[in-house]
Every structure is written in structure tokens, then in C-alpha cells.
Chain A
């Protein structure tokens, strides 16, 4: 029956074409989105290697020279006698202390919620969940009022203490200690006569390196780039953080603001890009290194590990 063979062949061709077209569409969407994701960062990495004229004349994704980076850095250092160094230094030490206090307090509180008899456990957990879902920006003005009344305004501690409140970390630790470590382990330690602290240090802590990585990751990324909170909490140039300093640089460069006198500032496109890169690169690196932590952390409330 030649006609039947004919139909089935055309049918098969049609199906094959449809499947190839589908695959093509699928891969195109995935790859186009990847290109749009990577190109802006690629541009930012390459921009400081060029001079201001090369930034316009060369291809946007062309590489200038390694000397370009050095040159951009030297120009950046001219701004207020190397103020950028202070900002980098501030960002590093504020963030380090925040990460330590935030992770330490979250680890302990999560353990207390999961493994000890804590009064008002349920309401405390609900308050923590609410505080974790409400974006930190919503607290900035109330925190400003509080910090002023404590007399901490314009002190590094205004940024450090407010940044150390870490309800999301408490939640992560709580979920970890109540699902990953079997309750029998805590009970066994207690029967052996270990107190709460003993159980925590001998049983819980050694088993929680994975958790610590996750806590550190989210605490670091949130605080390293934070703008509004440090912006409101301090007002002297030498106390600012790198992201806030970047905002200051914006208003003193003709690169982003033609209103600024064109020849007065050594800060142009490549220099501002270099400053931006210093904010973005640490985040980019920890993100790429901890891709798995992100998924586990955000979904830890509902996905069993």
C-alpha cells in the first residue's frame, strides 16, 4: 500500500521537523538569556582596561591593555587622596564583624529553637519568619530613629549592629538542626550528662559545617552590597562603605553626569567601572562558588534535603 507508506513518512518527517524546531527554540531561549546575563558583567570587567576614548572607539567587549587597569587604579587613587582605600577597608572590616556576629547569633538561636526547651518557641519562630520575609529596607527609618536615640549615629557600630540582625540565618539554622541532625543524638548527649552548651559544642557544631557555609554566604552577600542602611547610618566620608562611596563617585564624575566639569576630575568611565567592579567581583565569585547553597538555602523551608 504505497499511499500508507507515503502518509507515515510525511508524518514522521513532520514530527521530526517539529521536534527539531522545538529543540531549536528551547536552546535559543536558554542561550539568549545566558548571553544577556553575562554580557553586562563582561563589559564591566573589560571597561577598566581601556581609556575613556577607547571605551567609545573600541568594540564594547574589546580588551584594552593590562596597563589600562593600573592606569584606572592610579586615577581612582587621586580621588580625595586615596579615599577608595578607606572605603574598601571599611567594607571589609564592617562586613567581617557583621558576618561573625550574625552567623554566631543565628547558629545559637537556631539550635535553641530546634533542640532545647525554649519558652514561647512558636511565637518567637513566627516573629523570626515575619522579620525574615519583610525586606531589610523596610526597617531603615525605624532603625535610624533607634540608632539616634542610642547615640550611635555616625559610628561604625550603627552599621555593624543593625546589619547583624539575621532572622533568615536563624531560620536556616533552625531548619538544619531540626531536620538534618537526628533528635536522638541530642538526647543521647544529654543522657551522658552534657549540658545544653556541651551538646551544642560536641554534637551540633561539628555536624554543621555545611550550615555555616550557607549562613556565611547569605550574610556576606546581603551586607557587602547594602546601600540604604549604611547610607543613612553614617555621614562622614571616612566611615562610608564601598557601595555608598560608589554613589559619591557618581556625583563627582563627568562619566555619568555631564553636569560635572569635564576636565576637573580624573574619574571617568574606566575608573568608575573599576570601583563598581570592586563591589561586584566578591559577590560574583561567592555566587559562582556557592550555586548549590543558594537553592538549598532559599528552599530549605519546604524541600527535604
Chain B
């Protein structure tokens, strides 16, 4: 019964990693010797460190804003105890459908004052044309904005869900001890959903590290070359498909994969998120 999945697991996860590893050692025109020199070749590529800086800046904006907004809005949503929380939650889920190619399309218009429903805010910020925002120095904010809106609402609803599992007794006890709404939220509820927030942070970190579609599409068709090789995955794509250096491309891709695998192992073994699942095995 396990066989169909096992076949997919072997063919489309394990073997590809093995193949990619052997490809990553192959010689190329740029590196006729092959071997681990391909990994050094990538790190020494003039595009590598700028991409690392881009991704780090992106994550430094994106991750904290996710944690702060998701934690505070889900706590607020939980505090109102009103029938309006249902339509609010549905509203928060809407942007989840604006991802990838659609995100580029929608945010292009949202950030262009000529078309935008947010024209007032844009002008207030001193932005009179979209090209002021879609500028190399500000791109990281644009990508963080897109990623934030695609994921935040989803996670607010999820964290709100995890708040519902806090037992009434604990909340009742806090009330009797004289805690007000804010104290309950910060001192009782927040610590109880901490592990879900950590889980979210690690998942968003892994996904953010791999950002590709948004910078790629923006720079291949909307503003030509504005974000060329902006992210590490774009660099890997360029090495493979325009640099004809599959060895270096797979080397880079495996390095990124390794970081994600480490993040995954952290979640599994260093947080208590999957304890219940793991315990069944012991």
C-alpha cells in the first residue's frame, strides 16, 4: 500500500537529489576539472553575494513583519469574540489566491498611481509613478510586500485556529486573577501559541529563501533586467539555462536545498511541533 508513494518518493525526491549531486561534480567549460570546485565556482561568482544580500534583506523585512502582524492580528481577532470574526477571517484569506504570476500582475497595478485604488496613500508617500517603486533599491520592499500579503492572512486564520484550542479553564483563571484583555493576550495566549509561531517562521524562512517567480517574471517581462539574478534561485536558473553550466547550477541548488533540510530537521527534532507524530513511533 505504501508502494505508489514510495515510487514517487524515490523517483521524484531521492534519485533527483542523487543525480543532482553527481551532476554538480561534472566538469563544464568554466570549470574543466569538475569536482567540488563547482561549489567554489558558484560562491566566487560575482552575482552570488549580491543575491545573498538581497535574500537576507528580504527575509529581514519579511519574517519579522509576518511574526508581528500575524501574532497581533490573530490575538485581536480572538479578543473580539464577535460574529464579525467570520467575515473578517474570510476577508483575510482572499489575498492567498494572489500569488506568483498573478501577484506580479496585481501589484503592478496596485503600485501604479494611475490605476491604483490606493492612489491616495501612494501620493501621500510621495510616489507619483510606478517606476519610482519598481526601482532596484526598493525592489526588496516590493517583493516583501507581495510575499507578506500572500501569506499573512492565511497564517492569521491558522493562528486564530490554534488560539481556539486554549482551554477555557486557563482563560477563566486569568480573569479571576484580575488580568485584563491585553494582559491575557500577551501573558497567557501568546506564550501558548509560541510554538505555532516558530513553526510558521521556519516554514516562511524556507519558502522565502527559495523566492523565484516574482523577481524572475518582473525582470523577464515587466521591467526588463531590473531584478536579473536577484535571488539565489534565479542565479541557479541562469547558470543552468543561459550559462550552460548545469554543474554549478545544481551545486547552488543543492546548497539551498541543504539549508532547507536543516531547517526541516530543526522543526522536527528541536521544536515540539511534531512530538505527537513522533511519539507514536516510539
Our pick among B6, B108, B221, B274 for the contact of A302 (Cβ within 8 Å) is B274
Closest A residue, CB atoms, query B182: A22
**Interface hit among B32-40, B52-60, B95-103:** B95-103
Contact in complex: A60, B221 (CB < 8 Å): no
Our pick among B17, B19, B157, B207 for the contact of A149 (Cβ within 8 Å) is B19
Contact in complex: A301, B276 (CB < 8 Å): yes
Q: Quote the shortest CB–CB distance from B253 to chain A (angstroms).
A: 4
Contact in complex: B16, A139 (CB < 8 Å): yes
Q: Which secondary structure characterizes the binding site on chain B?
A: helix
Contact in complex: A109, B1 (CB < 8 Å): yes
B114 at the interface (CB under 8 A from A): yes
A6-62, CB < 8 A from B: 22, 26-27, 29-31, 33-34, 36-44, 47, 55-56, 60-61
Contact in complex: B158, A295 (CB < 8 Å): yes
Our pick among A135, A197, A283, A298 for the contact of B210 (Cβ within 8 Å) is A135
Contacts of A37 in B (CB 8 A): 91-95, 149, 153
Contact in complex: B154, A276 (CB < 8 Å): no
A284 at the interface (CB under 8 A from B): yes
B29 at the interface (CB under 8 A from A): no
Classify chain A: how many residues form its interface, as a range: 35 or more
Contacts A43-B110, A142-B16, A196-B1: A135 and B95 contacting too (C-beta < 8 A)?
A: no
A134 at the interface (CB under 8 A from B): yes
**Interface hit among A66-74, A77-85, A186-194, A243-251:** A243-251
Contacts of B88 in A (CB 8 A): 30-31, 34
Contacts of A143 in B (CB 8 A): 12, 16
Contact in complex: A299, B196 (CB < 8 Å): yes
Contact in complex: A256, B93 (CB < 8 Å): no
B83 at the interface (CB under 8 A from A): no
Contacts of A124 in B (CB 8 A): 2
Q: Quote the shortest CB–CB distance from B266 to chain A (angstroms).
A: 9
Q: Quote the shortest CB–CB distance from A162 to chain B (angstroms).
A: 5
Our pick among B87, B236, B250, B274 for the contact of A301 (Cβ within 8 Å) is B274
Our pick among B12, B202, B224, B250 for the contact of A162 (Cβ within 8 Å) is B12
Contacts of B116 in A (CB 8 A): 60
A262 at the interface (CB under 8 A from B): no
Contact in complex: B265, A130 (CB < 8 Å): yes
Contact with B along A281-305 (1 / 0, CB 8 A): 1011001100100111011011110
Contacts of A227 in B (CB 8 A): 100-101, 213, 217
Total contacting residues, chain B, CB less than 8 A: 106
A175 at the interface (CB under 8 A from B): yes
Q: Quote the shortest CB–CB distance from B84 to chain A (angstroms).
A: 8
B171 at the interface (CB under 8 A from A): no
Per the bound structure, the CA–CA distance linking A243 and B119 in Å amounts to 28
Contact in complex: A135, B2 (CB < 8 Å): no
Our pick among B213, B217, B250 for the contact of A141 (Cβ within 8 Å) is B250
Contact in complex: A141, B222 (CB < 8 Å): no
B66 at the interface (CB under 8 A from A): no
Contact in complex: A142, B250 (CB < 8 Å): yes
Contact in complex: B90, A291 (CB < 8 Å): yes
Q: Quote the shortest CB–CB distance from B264 to chain A (angstroms).
A: 4
Contact in complex: A303, B165 (CB < 8 Å): yes
B240-282, CB < 8 A from A: 240, 246, 249-250, 253-254, 256-257, 260-261, 263-265, 267-268, 272-278, 280-281
Q: Which 10 A-B pairs have the closest CB atoms?
A: A295-B161, A109-B5, A251-B221, A142-B20, A133-B264, A142-B16, A283-B97, A250-B221, A34-B91, A146-B16
Q: Spell out A's residues near B (CB within 8 Å).
A: 22, 26-27, 29-31, 33-34, 36-44, 47, 55-56, 60-61, 101, 104-106, 108-109, 111-113, 116, 118, 121-122, 124-131, 133-135, 137-146, 149, 161-162, 164-167, 170-171, 174-175, 178, 196-197, 200, 225-228, 232, 243-244, 246-247, 250-251, 256-257, 259, 269, 272-273, 276, 279-281, 283-284, 287-288, 291, 294-296, 298-299, 301-304
13 more contacts with CB within 8 A, not counting A291-B90, A291-B157, are: A37-B153, A56-B114, A60-B119, A105-B5, A111-B1, A135-B207, A139-B16, A146-B19, A225-B99, A287-B94, A287-B97, A298-B158, A302-B276
